Amino acid sequence: MSEMPWQALIDFADPHSPDPRAGRLRAAFGAPARVLAAHRPQELRPLLQTVEALARQGHWCVGYLRYEAAAAFDAAFALHPADGPLAWFGVHEAALPWPQQIDMPQQERPALGWQAGLTRAAFDASMARIHHTIAEGGLYQINYTTRLQAPWRGDARQLFGALRQGQPDGYAAFIDAGHEQVLSVSPELFFDWQGGQLLARPMKGTAPRGATPEEDAAHAHRLRTTPKEQAENVMIVDLIRNDLSRVAQPFSVRVPQLLRTEALPTVWQMTSDVQARTRAGTTLAELFAALFPCGSITGAPKVAAMRLIHALESTPRGVYCGAVGVVQPGGNARFNVPIRTVVLRGGMAQCGVGSGITADAQADAEWDEWQHKLAFLDTLASRLRS
């Protein structure tokens, strides 16, 4: 796999198709003809304007934004200094044939020894502070996360292949930016923007898969009907409806799907659809300014949640919880929310995990949820230890 000529890969589901394997956007790319990077907040909007202009001229633009790129859109957002470029895009003149090797079962699975950046005692202390802040009326929900790290010296493409085989059918992307490699097998759509039609699909609410069909169905039913899980999802739907309204035509924002359960290999997840028609002349930069970062990985209200995130999380999130995606020739754009994502840099692998915390969230249940979400790494010898 290391001899493949591609440096970037997009394997995104068609969010408008009921079959996650039908109509997928699959494209491979070689070395970019041009690289665009923003290192300071004031550089980000011009970069996105350039990305959109080049796409409308017929280029493919594949890249990502760090969570800390939010500094370019609202000075009220509390953020740590970024650990890399706020945004990075490779500009490509054409797509390469799909590399069939990436679909082949792997004989060997890479093994990583993950080290958690958070003890159970620190987690419990943060939960107590979150509950106090909610009780005082400071916010309704926060998405609290941590980072795991592991030494890495192997083939990034082989690692991506293993991750993708364990987490198929979502919004997978591999991007080799030179200084770092982004390996995202995220199941969550950030937004899909085509011809003025905008779709966001926030993912909030998680349950483990069952060992039997009966147990599996019971877990899915519990996810759909538990008030805590419903509230967690609906709060974010309301936030994203408000975000979309900033670029939407009047009265066009709607929620055609609410509280839908989706079966992933290791967990059940609950999603909702929020749609709108964007106003004439809306730009990609304006779209990101309205939506970024995705409310599903901040909490509500967004500014207050991000302020508490900054206080509780001592390191930048980086690409995790930012956006990874592609702007296609003509201007259509599709980005994921990079959860279930590994970033390789400087001989280390980093991966984030988190969950939405509401007033009735319990520490034991949330800690278990983190374990369930990390199951996508199980083939890589991972586990978060208390």
Catalytic positions are 188, 204
Run of H or E including 217: helix 213-225
Q: How many angstroms separate the CA atoms of 357 and 344, rounded?
A: 28
206 touches 221 (CB < 8 A): no
Q: Which residues pair with 254 in a beta bridge?
A: 275
What amino acid is encoded at 251 in this protein? Answer: F
Phi/psi for 368 (5° steps) reads -65, -40
- Radius of gyration of the chain, Cα coordinates, nearest whole angstrom: 19
321 touches 305 (CB < 8 A): no
CA-nearest of 197, 193, 198, 196 to 325 is 193
Cβ neighbours of 46 (radius 10 Å): 13
What amino acid is encoded at 341 in this protein? Answer: T
